[in-house]
Structures are given as C-alpha cells and as structure tokens.
C-alpha cells in the first residue's frame, strides 16, 4: 500500500494541475468569445456600407426629357461632375477601413445565381449564397479560404429602400401631359423594396494571433505554475507530516523498560491529539499487562517452590533416616505430585481456552437442574461452615450452551464461594429471563476484601492470601472461569454489592441494542 505522503502528493498535484487547466481553458474561451464578439460588432457596423454599395449598383442617370419639360434650377446650384462625391468616396469618408487594403471582403447577390457586387479578386466559389431564415436576422459564421486563411463573416438581407429614380431639381416639378408616352431612353429601375443578400467578412488572422499569444502565455504560466505547485506541495507535505514522523520516531524507542512513559501533546497538531491519547491508553494497557505477567511469574514461582521444597526435604529425610515409615513418605509425595499436576493441568486448560482452541458442542439445558447438579459436590462443605443457600432460578429457564464448559465455570465459582464465604455466611444463586442478557448471578458474603483487590480477582495465580499458606487453591480457578466464559461468547464480571458481599454475573456479550 502506498504511503500517505505519496497519496497526498499525487492527489494534491493532480488537483492543482486540474484547477490550472480549467482556469486556462476558461480564460482562453472567454478571450476568444470576446474577440469574436468584437469582430461581429465590427461587421454589424459595416453593414450600412454593404447596403449602400448594394443599392448604388442600381443607380442610373434617369430619363432624358425634353428641355421644355424641365425647369432648370439656377446655375449656381449646379455641381460639376468632377466635384460630385462618388459612392466609394462617401463610403471612404464614413467607413475609412472598409475600402482599405486590409479591409473586409464582401459580395452582394440580387438572387441566388446573380452577383451584382463583390470585392476585387474575391473567388465567388468560396462565398456561397447563404440561407437566411424568415426573421431576416444576420447570421455569423466562419469561412476557410483555399490559401489557408480564415475569415469571420456575416450574412444578412439588404432591403433596397430609397434607391429609385433621381428626383428633379429646381423649384418646380416635371409636368407631363396625361397622354404623353414615356421617352424612348427611359430605363425602368427595379422596385424600391427589392431585397439583396450580402456577405461581409473580416480576416480572423489578428484574432488568431491574439489567441495564439494568449495560448502560449497560458501554457508558459501553466508550466511555471506546475513547477511551483510541485515545490509547494513537497514543502507543505514535508512540513505538515513532520510531527507524524516525530511521533513515529518517539514510538520506535518504546520498549518494556519505558512503558511508564507517556506521549506529550504539547508539540502535536490537533489532528494527532486523539492518536496520542490512544497511544497513551495503549501504553497504560501494556504496562498493566506486563505487570500482570510479572506478578504471574512471581506467583507461579511461589506456587511451585513450596511443593518442590517439600519434595526435596522428604527426599533428604528418607536418605538420612531410611528406617522411617516409607508408607507415610510415599503418601505425602503422592499428595505433592497431585498438587503439582493440578496446577499444570489448570495452566494447560487456561491456555487452551484463552486461545479458543476448543470444539464446542451446544445443546439445550434446564438451567435450574444443571445448577443444582453442579452445586451438589459442595453441599457438604457448605453445611460444615453453616452457609445458607438461596437459589432463585425458574424451572422453565432453558439456555443453549456447551454443558462441559459451563460446568467447569460453575464448579470454579461454587468452589470459590464455599471456600471464601465465612462461617454462617450466605450464598445466593439467581437467574432471571426478564433481565436481557443476564444468565446467572452468584453472590456470597465475604470479609477482608476491598475494591483494590477486585481488579486482580481474575488474574492467574493471584490470591488474597499473600503468604500462600493454603495449598488447597492455586489461584487459577477464576482466571479459568473467565477464559471459559469468553470461549462460550459470555462475559464474567465481579462487583462489590456491599463491603461484605461480592457478586459474580454471567451474561451474554452479543446483545442487540
């Protein structure tokens, strides 16, 4: 699995690169749209020139009428032909960039197959007749020429309004007899509302140069930003993960001799504070576990030292005084061997149940009958100490479990209760199906017991009697009951009800909440 630093580095770098790419694309498209809008605005501004050129194509000098029909204006109102302004000059005055060398290209159609005006050197095949919708709104599109140039074009309908015959000049109009025919040279012009179709196009080269420059700038800035992002992410991760590395190095120095030390949160960031708390809790559990193992080693040495010392002493006595009673020595040796065997078998059973290396055979049992059967071997000992027993278990209380392991648990609990309950004390055994999760409760009176001793109650080879003068118990019974309960999926807890009463509760651990 890759490291956290590598994952963060890759994802942060990819995220920053994606942000830079999106920003570059947005800037490029925005500028491109702005440039296109500028060209379209310029084309709309030149639409008047295109309309004027298309309309001037239909101008004629008008009919030649007899002089007696024309009232001539004063001579001073005449303007010589040389001084008259041509359409091209008037366009040049209003749109000077229209007729410039780098000006737009245009073409005007009277119909789909009739071109009436176009720019010089313009190939008609590259400017096809546009299909404009009925709304007569101008349409904008791009044109690619054969020489590789691209142009932005606008096509529109040009209504030829205002281009009719020249009106007569002077103070009086033309008088024509009603029945007089038209002159022979009269030219009939097209209708005044005759529609023309025109295309005007501007070169896209300046826009393309601007966009190319912008694209080069975006790429250059993106490369520089990529190197800066690489360095920034590397530095940020190195700086941000430094406390984590320091905590790891500090953790690497922990051994069995430094379990009492705790990790400080003073120099740690907020995100590592919960980890530090959990590590301190782990150190506390490890310290308690090592302390229990040390006590177990010491308790085991005490348990084994006494019978071994007795065997050694008996062997020395038998060697020194061989005439003594051999039978009594043999019985004492057998008792010591039996005690050692019980300790070893208990330790082996405890190891087996703690590792859950046991095949379970579940069956349904009546808890009251089973409990009475397990209590029967301890009845005589309870009567000798005048202990009163109270058993409150319903007859219909049935559970499903492994009876062999449950018997081992109850035997150890009953043995512990009869042994440590003082004379004329009480033992209460109860089971109630109405309390969810609970199976059995065993309480007994006790003396010389406090809360500090309660935390060591289930430790292996622990005894309340520190002198260990009583050889009938090895201190493994409650630890073995705890391991067996865990093997059955149960939980065994102990609590002080009063200062002179202790209670053991056997309950289920998989209760649905």
- Three-point CA angle 453, 498, 493, nearest 5°: 55
Helix (H/G/I), strand (E/B), else coil: 147: coil
Helices within 149-261 (DSSP H only): 205-240, 242-252
pTM recorded for the entire structure: 0.49
Tokens of 330: 């043999």
Distances (CA, A) of 434 to 128, 394, 491, 503: 94, 11, 18, 19
Q: Which two tokens stand for residue 453?
A: 């001793």
Pairing status of strand 195-203 against strand 363-366: unpaired
Going by C-beta distance under 8 Å and a sequence separation of 6 or more, which residues neighbour residue 369? none
For residue 199, what is the DSSP state? E
Domains of the chain: 4-61+70-165+190-220 (no CATH), 255-297 (no CATH), 357-508 (3.30.565.10)
Q: pLDDT tens across 84-115, in order?
A: 556 666 666 556 666 666 678 888 888 888 88
Please, which residues have CB within 8 angstroms of residue 286's CB and are 6 or more apart in sequence?
259
Return the exposure string of 495-505: e unless at least 16 CB atoms fall within 10 Å of the residue's CB, then b.
Answer: eeeeeebbbbb
- Asked if residue 391 lies in contact with residue 368, where contact means CB atoms within 8 angstroms, the answer is yes
User: Which helix (H) or strand (E) segment is 410 a member of?
Assistant: helix 403-420
Kind and range of the H or E run holding 159:
strand 150-159
Other Cβ atoms less than 10 A from the Cβ of 260: the count is: 8
Instruction: For residue 267, give Cα distances in angstroms to 264, 271, 273, 484.
Output: 7, 12, 10, 45
Give CA separation, 433 vs 346, 366, 396, 510, in Å: 32, 12, 10, 16
pLDDT at 371: 92
Judge residue 421's burial from the number of C-beta atoms within 10 Å of its C-beta, 0-12 exposed, 13-18 middle, 19 or more buried: buried
Q: Residue 470: which of 330, 339, 291, 301 has the closest Cα?
A: 339
Q: What is the pLDDT of residue 178?
A: 53
Report how far residue 3's alpha carbon sits from residue 384's, in angstroms, rounded to the nearest whole number: 69
Contact 200, 104 (CB under 8 A): yes
Alpha-carbon distance of 325 to 20, in angstroms, equals 101
Per-residue pLDDT at 512? 44
Sign of CA dihedral 321, 322, 328, 333: positive
pLDDT at 118 (0 to 100): 82
**442 has which bridge partners?**
429, 504
432 in Cβ contact with 438 (< 8 Å): yes
Determine the Cα–Cα distance for residues 122 and 201; give it in Å rounded to an integer: 11
DSSP 8-class letter at 377: G
Cα dihedral 197→200→204→207 (10° resolution): -110
- For the chain, the straight-line distance linking the first and the last C-alpha, in angstroms and rounded, comes to 36
Weakly modelled stretches of the chain, pLDDT under 50: 61-62, 162-174, 176, 182-190, 467-468, 511-513
């Amino acid at each position: 699995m890759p490291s956290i630093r590598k994952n963060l580095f890759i994802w942060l770098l990819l995220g920053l690169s994606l942000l830079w790419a999106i920003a570059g694309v947005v800037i490029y498209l925005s500028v491109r749209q702005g440039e296109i809008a500028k060209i379209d605005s310029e084309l709309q501004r030149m639409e008047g020139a295109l309309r004027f050129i298309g309309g001037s194509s239909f101008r004629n000098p008008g009919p030649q009428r007899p002089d007696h029909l024309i009232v001539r204006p004063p001579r001073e109102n005449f303007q010589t032909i040389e001084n008259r302004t041509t359409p091209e000059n008037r366009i040049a005055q209003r749109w000077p960039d229209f007729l410039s060398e780098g000006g737009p290209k245009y073409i005007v159609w009277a119909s789909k197959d009739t071109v009436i005006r176009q720019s010089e050197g313009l190939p008609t095949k590259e400017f096809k007749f546009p299909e404009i919708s009925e709304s007569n709104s101008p349409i904008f599109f791009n044109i690619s020429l054969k020489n590789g140039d691209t142009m932005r074009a606008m096509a529109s309908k040009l209504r030829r309004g205002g281009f009719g015959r020249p009106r007569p000049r002077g103070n009086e109009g033309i008088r024509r007899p009603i029945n007089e025919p038209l002159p022979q040279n009269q030219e009939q012009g097209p209708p005044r509302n005759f529609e023309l179709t025109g295309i005007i196009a501007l070169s896209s080269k300046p826009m393309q140069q601007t966009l190319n420059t912008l694209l080069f700038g975006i790429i250059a800035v993106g490369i520089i930003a990529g190197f800066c992002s690489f360095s920034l992410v590397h530095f940020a991760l190195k700086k941000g993960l430094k406390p984590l590395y320091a905590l790891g190095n500090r953790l690497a120095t922990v051994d069995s001799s430094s379990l009492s030390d705790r990790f400080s949160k003073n120099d740690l960031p907020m995100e590592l504070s919960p980890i530090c708390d959990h590590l301190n809790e782990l150190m506390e559990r490890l310290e308690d576990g090592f302390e229990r193992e040390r006590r177990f080693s010491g308790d085991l040495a005490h348990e084994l030292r006494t019978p071994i010392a007795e065997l050694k002493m008996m062997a020395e006595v038998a060697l020194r005084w061989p005439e003594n009673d051999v039978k009594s020595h043999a019985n004492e040796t057998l008792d010591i061997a039996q005690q050692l065997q019980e300790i070893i078998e208990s330790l082996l059973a405890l190891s087996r149940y703690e590792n859950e290396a046991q095949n379970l055979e579940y069956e349904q049992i009546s808890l009251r009958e089973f409990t009475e059967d397990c209590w029967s071997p301890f009845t005589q000992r309870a009567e000798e100490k005048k202990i009163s027993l109270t058993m409150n278990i319903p007859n219909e209380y049935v559970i499903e479990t492994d009876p062999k392991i449950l018997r081992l648990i109850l035997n150890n609990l009953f043995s512990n209760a009869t042994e440590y309950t003082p004379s004329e004390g009480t033992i209460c055994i109860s089971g109630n199906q109405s309390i969810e999760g609970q199976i059995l409760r065993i309480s007994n009176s006790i003396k010389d017991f406090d809360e500090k001793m309660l935390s060591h109650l289930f430790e292996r080879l622990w005894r309340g009697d520190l002198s260990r003068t009583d050889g009938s118990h090895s201190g493994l019974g409650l630890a073995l009951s705890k391991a067996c309960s865990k093997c059955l999926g149960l939980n065994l807890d102990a609590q002080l009800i009063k200062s002179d009463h202790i209670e053991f509760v056997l309950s289920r651990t998989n209760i649905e909440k």
